Structure 1
Amino acid sequence: MIKDETTPPGYCLLQNLRVDEPSSCTCIFHRTHEDFCADGKGRMLIKNSYNKNDREGYVVNGPAHTYPGSDLFSAIDEVTAFQCKSWPEEAQLWLSQEGIGGWPTEEMRRYCETTGCFVVPVGSKHGSNQQLEWRISTSTAERYLVFSLNITQIRCYILMKMILKTLISPQCEDAISSYMCKTVLFHCIHTSHLNQWQEHNLLACLKCCLVSLQDCVKQINCPHFIIPENNLMAGKISYPVQQQLLAVLEPIIQCEVWALMDIPIDDLGMRLQEKMTMLPMYPPGFYYHSAVNVSSEVSGHLMYTFFYLLRLGSYSKIIRLVRKEMNPFLLFNTISILGKIYSAVESDTPQKSVCRLLAPQFCSSLGSVMASTNIDTGSSISHIALAWFSAGLNSDVSSSRLKLASALYCAGEMERTEYVLSNVEEKYDLDVVAPVCGCSGNYTMALKPGFLSKCDTGNEELIKDIVAFCVVFMRCEINCVPQELQYEMFRATQEDLLERDEDDGWIDCAVVDSLPYLYFLQYKTYRHLQRGADQQRALLHLATTIDTDRNLRHRETALNLLGQCLEQENRYDAALCCYIKSRNIRTRNNAANIHICKLLSTISLRRRVPP
């Protein structure tokens, strides 16, 4: 195997050597000269037409010669390949790259190295010596990686192949291959946490893969998983085909459930429709039959109701009072009163539990108010404010930590912000954590089996591990709020104010669900740190969460944040779609009305500017 400056990444030239000694051949006797070509240095190179199959009925498909089969014979795929026992040089870097979720593991990568590689007879589409180039294939290593996948990852790959065969290939034949789909799946697993690849999260995982495939098409670059310099799409997708692919992929990504219903393979569409009809509102695992599981379900719903009422009946009402009176000192007074009640009660009663669980939430809000004052005066966040933040960190799994991260971000401390956000992402178990919002009542929650099983103990201290409150910012905390979220504090027009109920006091605050806010802050932080790949990963997670998490209580706010991120990516059409979706959820008291006007103005101004 040899390479020179003209050989593309992932390809090589093959030089024929003598049998009796490791030196190059100058004459070929055992094969015709049509299979060999001497280069300018006198080396005898093997053409990739070597051992070409000219039998009737066989179709050339890349390096493979395929016989479609008949009534008497099964379909046959033949690939001529030479084995190389050493690991390719271009793949050496891959051996040291560990994914976010630890896949592939160090042990897996070291085993892959021992499998060597093959060279197969196909040249690159953009190389200068197509007839002499041989593609380096790491198929044995990739086969081993496939065997390491869990059932959700395998199902995701199968669904991608079904979508490719049913919805994409009929309109854009041969533009996307199943090998590209597998490569995209590998990249998605490599850049995400393994706890996301669970059975109940299959649609979110599928969407993640389809969005990644869409990004590859936009850039016309699908990096080989092990040799990333090898672009699998190079020379295969023209501009018209790219636009056609994007037009096909966009509706599939937006409505992947309905797209799956159009798939006739294995009666998938019909079976999915039947399943959705039987279970319209509940996630897999909701229905239980044993007494143990029924007990777990009852305990979980009781525990969730307790957390919900705690947020709705106490914290939210006091925050509204602080907002209405414009007196942040009420927070300190509230903490003092809770401390006195807690000390006065001797035994461990419900009153003590409520005080113990409420106090950290108010500590976090007080720390945010102080930090906002510090930032307003141009100072760094004071030690007193950080101390109050610290006292409130265990209010739940995420909201208080996100308030701290938000304050650090607004103070310009990006490295500390990134550390806090990473800590939140690590603690936020997507299979367990339940969002809790006290802004309004009358909604149902599809609790996850992991949450229900954790609630068997009946210990309310689990709040710091299994509950994610929405993040609430009052106007006195405005300097701890990124500009994109500040719009939510001023979302109401005079006409909107006339239509309000007494329970709508939270609307003057900026309120957002924890998980979307985590990904939004990650996007903004990585943008400042100029970590492009992490930034795009956070944006993808934000979009996927909004589309797939039905437990979000402030989806319209999350859509407004996503729209502003897309504006910063210069994706104005997609941003406008987000704002329109947001406005469809909540017509009044919605900052989307502001964003739509601003965006249309921006688009209009850009069209007026001469090129």
Structure 2
Amino acid sequence: MFQEPDYRENLSLMLSEVLHDIGVNERTVMRSRRGVMLMETMNNITSRLTDVNDTVYCLGSQSEGTTTIGLDSDIDLLACYHKFNIIQDWSEWEPDKLNYLMIQDENTTPGYCFLQLLRLDEPLPATVIPNEHYITDRRGRILYKNTMINDLLEGADQQHGPSIAELRQPGLCDMDRVLALPCKSWPQSASGWLHRQGIGRWPTHEMRRYAASTRCLVVPTGSKVSEYPELEWRISTSLTERCIMFNLNITQIRCYVLLKMILKSFLNPQNEINISSFMCKTVLLHCIENTESRIWKDINLFTCLTYCLLELHSCVQNDCCSHFIIPENNVMAGQFTAETKHELSKNICDFIQNDRQRLLSIDIDDLGHRLQVKLNRVPHGVYYFPSSLEINETVLTWRYINIANNISIQHKHVLRHFHNENIRTMKQHIVKLMTFSDNGNRFEQVAFNFLAPFLFTTYGSTLASSSIGENNQVSPQALVWLSAGLNADISSSRLKLASVFYSTGDMEKAELILRHTEQQYYSYPVLPICRCYVMPLTVTAEFKRICSEQSENCIKHNTAFCVRFIQGEINCVPHELQYEMFRSTQDDMIHRDEYNDCWMDWAVVDSLPFLYFLQYKIYRHLQRHQDQQQALCKLITTIETDENLQHKETALNILGQCMEQENRPQQALKCYMLSLRQRARNNAANFHICKLVSGLMVSQ
């Protein structure tokens, strides 16, 4: 089959070049994987810092690097709840956990199981039903229903089987969150794979050894052909599958990407879900296992694709696609009606028979048009599409923006935990964080370097606020922690340090920091970052270029995070900004999300407006009137022209107070009214308007 004429080899090479140009190349794939793994690690560090007993794994195409801009894949978040313990043997029972015995018998679909509830105090079956999520079967066993997910899904946007889908947000990938419970050991139905090896010694011994050391999970969904769909839990080997995908070569990855493009263009039109990408992945893995590894080269890409399509056609014809690790599990069971099966079979055959023409008609990422140009079917210039450089810049830019957004999100979640804690407890969390620097793996160390400076700054500022409250001085310990956090990004931590000096009346030091920060800000392309709430970002070509040329460290050197002060830092916050900590009336609280809107109890402001506001205040104190007016003009210009301001209402509020200090009450009122247009509720502008009007009435 693999002795193909030259034109197939030529087509394979052209197809490989096109896929390279649209981002399916080693560099982009590896950076994509690294970015997603960093986000996963940050999530889990945050969970451990805030005593959340679960682990989140990032799975799917984004984590594998097996997607393109046009495929628009989401990130699958698998949340593993460690308070559960799924066992197969009574010796695996653990105290202080919710233990369940995995049951696979004649009533369960292959690849699925029932979960029998066990007692909390000893390894024996439970005899009392705790709540409506359990049922007693004919044998008297208390079984856990997979519908428990309904309680956890409350408030989620959409439900897809066992997952929680978070709808697309500007600047972030779609995220599909799957809830999972950990198995103590590999299920017997999956253990055979650990000793299986295909042609070409694949999967390798190292891959199978890694799989044996990782965990299996169960997720709350039943088989479509089950008699007991509410009682079955699917056995998931997702972590092993991710390891396998990480070990594919670039030709195998390109083949998988092509399969998904064919799926989306011809087999699942109008977003129908007949054949899933997981089925395509399963077919690909079986094909790799059953061929010599030397076959999987770019020169054979077209032939390998055809082989996978033939195998997929066979699976559809036979209504059977065996799970790669649990072969008894037919992942196509119950998926198709006879009519759908006939239509799919016909479409796959049609593609195989007319494969070249069908490839040339794929619109995703302009693949067809690009291939026509490569094959000299049309002259250069007939079609316009982004260059390879532009695509790689775009892909890598959004990878880094996603990492930066995730840093902001994790920082917010930790501050939410810090908000009501005393300094001593906060220090305990900081000490726990330090262990990731000393003892963590390579991803934990990198994640630590991104997250830690923000938390060092918050801790240092909290210490400073306490000492300022006592004697209007900053303790040496506070300065040590503030200094340790200075390189969090290009501006936010430096601005907090400047605000600390401003609060103690040390205007010279504060002015020096602000001047240096402003110089840095305009020396490089800088992108503001804030995930307090969702707004789109405008990204410059210069910032994209930096992302393409540098590693993820550009996040430290080319981003400006919003400046966040929790209430424990109040003595380090200019009084004009302190109003933001009390923005919400009792009525406003009804319109807040307890988890995502926690920042509304803090003073939060974008870096650049805060920089100019502090300059205005400091120059006013130093009686440098020309510099003061220049800072005010820069503040106004920033508010009017910066499309990426996330807290524009706060910027308008501090500008309004500057106008009041300039004795320009009409302009101040205008600022507050514009602020309310940005955010009608939970806005300190309401207080400023009342205060301003009251003052005007008294003066009259």
Please report the TM-score for the alignment, with normalisation by the length of structure 2. 0.44
Structure 2 match to 1:303: 400
The alpha carbon displacement at 1:330 in A equals 4.0
Structure 1 match to 2:536: 444
Structure 2 match to 1:316: 412
The alpha carbon displacement at 1:569 in A equals 0.4
Counterpart CA distance in 2 for 1:604 and 1:335 is: 50
Q: 2:391 aligns with which of 294, 315, 318?
A: 294
Structure 1 match to 2:452: 359
Counterpart CA distance in 2 for 1:573 and 1:492 is: 25
Per mean C-alpha deviation after superposition, the further-off stretch among 424-433 and 380-389 is 424-433
SS at match of 2:623: coil
Counterpart AA for 1:332: K
The alpha carbon displacement at 1:417 in A equals 0.6
Counterpart CA distance in 1 for 2:572 and 2:582 is: 16
Counterpart CA distance in 2 for 1:301 and 1:331 is: 33
SS at match of 2:663: coil
Per mean C-alpha deviation after superposition, the further-off stretch among 423-432 and 466-475 is 423-432
Structure 1 residue 463 corresponds to structure 2 residue 555:
yes
Structure 1 residue 495 corresponds to structure 2 residue 587:
yes
The alpha carbon displacement at 1:310 in A equals 1.6
The alpha carbon displacement at 1:332 in A equals 2.1
Change (3 A) 1:573 1:302: same
Counterpart CA distance in 2 for 1:290 and 1:500 is: 44
Asked whether the 8 Å contact 2:565–2:602 carries over to 1, the reply is: yes
Counterpart CA distance in 2 for 1:288 and 1:425 is: 38
Counterpart AA for 2:682: N
The alpha carbon displacement at 1:438 in A equals 2.4
Deviations 1:358-414 (A, max 9, x none): 111111111100111111112421111111111000000000000000010010000
Query: Unaligned 5+ residue runs, structure 1?
Result: 1-286
Change (3 A) 1:522 1:342: same
Q: 1:453 aligns with which of 539, 542, 545?
A: 545
Change (3 A) 1:403 1:426: same
Deviations 1:552-584 (A, max 9, x none): 110000000000000000111111000000011
Asked whether the 8 Å contact 1:472–1:511 carries over to 2, the reply is: yes
The alpha carbon displacement at 1:288 in A equals 8.1
Asked whether the 8 Å contact 1:566–1:574 carries over to 2, the reply is: yes
Counterpart CA distance in 2 for 1:478 and 1:467 is: 25
Counterpart AA for 2:429: T
Q: 1:578 aligns with which of 671, 682, 688?
A: 671
SS at match of 1:584: helix
The alpha carbon displacement at 1:602 in A equals 1.6
Please report the TM-score for the alignment, with normalisation by the length of structure 1. 0.50
Counterpart AA for 1:486: Q
SS at match of 1:593: helix
Structure 1 match to 2:573: 481
Structure 1 match to 2:224: none
Change (3 A) 1:490 1:531: same
Q: 1:409 aligns with which of 490, 502, 509?
A: 502
Asked whether the 8 Å contact 1:299–1:458 carries over to 2, the reply is: no
Counterpart CA distance in 1 for 2:540 and 2:567 is: 34
SS at match of 2:448: helix
Q: How do residues 94-113 of structure 1 correspond to structure 2 at under 5 angstroms?
A: none
Asked whether the 8 Å contact 1:322–1:328 carries over to 2, the reply is: no
Q: 2:514 aligns with which of 421, 426, 429?
A: 421
SS at match of 2:490: coil
Structure 1 match to 2:598: 505
Counterpart CA distance in 2 for 1:476 and 1:508 is: 11
Deviations 1:461-497 (A, max 9, x none): 2223101110000111100001100000011111111
Counterpart AA for 1:343: D
Counterpart AA for 2:398: H
Change (3 A) 1:431 1:594: same
SS at match of 1:395: coil
Structure 2 match to 1:369: 462
SS at match of 1:394: coil
Counterpart AA for 2:430: I
The alpha carbon displacement at 1:293 in A equals 2.0
In angstroms, what is the RMSD of aligned CA positions? Answer: 1.6
The alpha carbon displacement at 1:595 in A equals 0.4
Asked whether the 8 Å contact 1:432–1:449 carries over to 2, the reply is: no
Counterpart CA distance in 2 for 1:496 and 1:476 is: 22
Change (3 A) 1:513 1:430: farther
Asked whether the 8 Å contact 2:423–2:463 carries over to 1, the reply is: no
Q: 1:331 aligns with which of 413, 426, 436?
A: 426
Counterpart AA for 1:340: T
- Aligned-pair identity in percent equals 46
Asked whether the 8 Å contact 2:580–2:650 carries over to 1, the reply is: yes
SS at match of 1:460: coil
The alpha carbon displacement at 1:509 in A equals 0.3
Asked whether the 8 Å contact 2:527–2:559 carries over to 1, the reply is: yes
Counterpart CA distance in 1 for 2:552 and 2:389 is: 20
SS at match of 2:597: helix
SS at match of 1:435: strand
Counterpart AA for 2:652: L
The alpha carbon displacement at 1:327 in A equals 2.6
Structure 1 match to 2:680: 587
The alpha carbon displacement at 1:431 in A equals 6.0
Asked whether the 8 Å contact 2:524–2:558 carries over to 1, the reply is: no
Deviations 1:507-529 (A, max 9, x none): 00000000000000000000000
Counterpart CA distance in 1 for 2:509 and 2:600 is: 30
Counterpart CA distance in 1 for 2:563 and 2:679 is: 19
Counterpart CA distance in 1 for 2:609 and 2:487 is: 20
Counterpart CA distance in 2 for 1:381 and 1:341 is: 29
Structure 2 match to 1:341: 436
Q: 1:540 aligns with which of 616, 633, 658?
A: 633
Deviations 1:287-336 (A, max 9, x none): 98321122112111110111101211x2110101111x333334322322
Change (3 A) 1:342 1:402: same
Change (3 A) 1:556 1:430: farther
Counterpart AA for 1:449: A
SS at match of 2:553: helix
Counterpart CA distance in 1 for 2:590 and 2:446 is: 39
Change (3 A) 1:589 1:288: farther
Counterpart AA for 1:587: A
Asked whether the 8 Å contact 1:303–1:458 carries over to 2, the reply is: no
Asked whether the 8 Å contact 1:559–1:582 carries over to 2, the reply is: yes
Structure 2 match to 1:70: none
The alpha carbon displacement at 1:458 in A equals 4.7
Asked whether the 8 Å contact 1:489–1:510 carries over to 2, the reply is: yes
Query: Unaligned 5+ residue runs, structure 2?
Result: 1-383
The alpha carbon displacement at 1:427 in A equals 0.7
Per mean C-alpha deviation after superposition, the further-off stretch among 595-604 and 425-434 is 425-434
Structure 2 match to 1:57: none
Asked whether the 8 Å contact 2:400–2:555 carries over to 1, the reply is: no
Counterpart CA distance in 1 for 2:485 and 2:571 is: 19
Structure 2 match to 1:561: 654
Counterpart CA distance in 2 for 1:430 and 1:392 is: 21
Asked whether the 8 Å contact 2:501–2:507 carries over to 1, the reply is: yes
Asked whether the 8 Å contact 1:331–1:362 carries over to 2, the reply is: no
The alpha carbon displacement at 1:430 in A equals 7.3
Counterpart CA distance in 2 for 1:429 and 1:334 is: 35
SS at match of 1:511: strand
Structure 2 match to 1:109: none
Counterpart AA for 2:418: V
Deviations 1:321-358 (A, max 9, x none): 111x3333343223222221232234x32x22111111
Counterpart AA for 1:604: M
Asked whether the 8 Å contact 1:300–1:452 carries over to 2, the reply is: yes
SS at match of 1:393: coil
